[in-house]
A and B are shown apart, each in its own frame.
Chain A
């Protein structure tokens, strides 16, 4: 079945450094979403990418969808302590009526002040 992998599993950075997490799917995706989960909280939707090669930006966050629609990345420029949390990618392989998505295991980001 479809699998979604993320690397690294953990990342510790000094405040102000950049951070990147990578997401890879075993199958071609119709779309990919990114979520952030703060410690003790619930996942919060950040963005969805649909088009091959798509790049979207949200302030210091840059999201990219690969040309083959099998991988994606999230890059944070100049991390801040508010960026702490676990970042999940989630992908849909095929369109279904219930929008089934497969979540990656997440990358846990720690920011050292």
Chain B
């Protein structure tokens, strides 16, 4: 069966520091992968999606970037974090039609 991993689970970083969040998927090949951000008490905002290795599309302009170095690995990065980057970051992959499976998420606090 398919599983999706994210790490770290929680992270506290100072403003201006770099960021690297990792997502890996097991049990499927060439998945569509997504990064979402969820602000406290809010819905999910799509940040990036990828349909294959090295193929990244951004939904909103921001100081974040994403990379997909391997088929089942999706990385979210920033060179300099802002306070507004705090939130719950979720990685997801596309299962059946319209169906998305989410990882456990990373709670990022920028101080």
Contact = CB atoms under 8 A, between A and B. Distances in A.
Interface of A: 31, 33, 41-45, 48, 50, 88, 90, 92, 97-106, 108
Interface residues of B, number: 26
Interface stretch (B13-21, B65-73, B78-86, B96-104): B96-104
A104 B43 CA distance: 6
Name the residue in B44, B45, B97, B104 with the highest tally of chain A Cβ atoms < 10 Å from its Cβ: B44
A100 B36 CA distance: 11
Interface in B21-76: 32, 34, 36, 41-46, 49, 51, 57, 59
A42 B99 contact: no
A43 B46 CA distance: 14
B32 A42 contact: no
A105 B101 contact: no
Q: What 6 pairs across the A-B complex have the smallest Cβ distances?
A: A105-B43, A103-B44, A48-B98, A42-B102, A103-B43, A98-B49
9 contacts: A43-B44, A48-B97, A92-B98, A98-B34, A98-B51, A99-B100, A101-B98, A104-B43, A105-B42
A51 to B, nearest CB: 13
Contacts of A48: 96-99
Given A44-B102, A90-B44, A105-B42, 6 more contacts: A31-B97, A33-B98, A42-B90, A48-B98, A99-B32, A99-B94
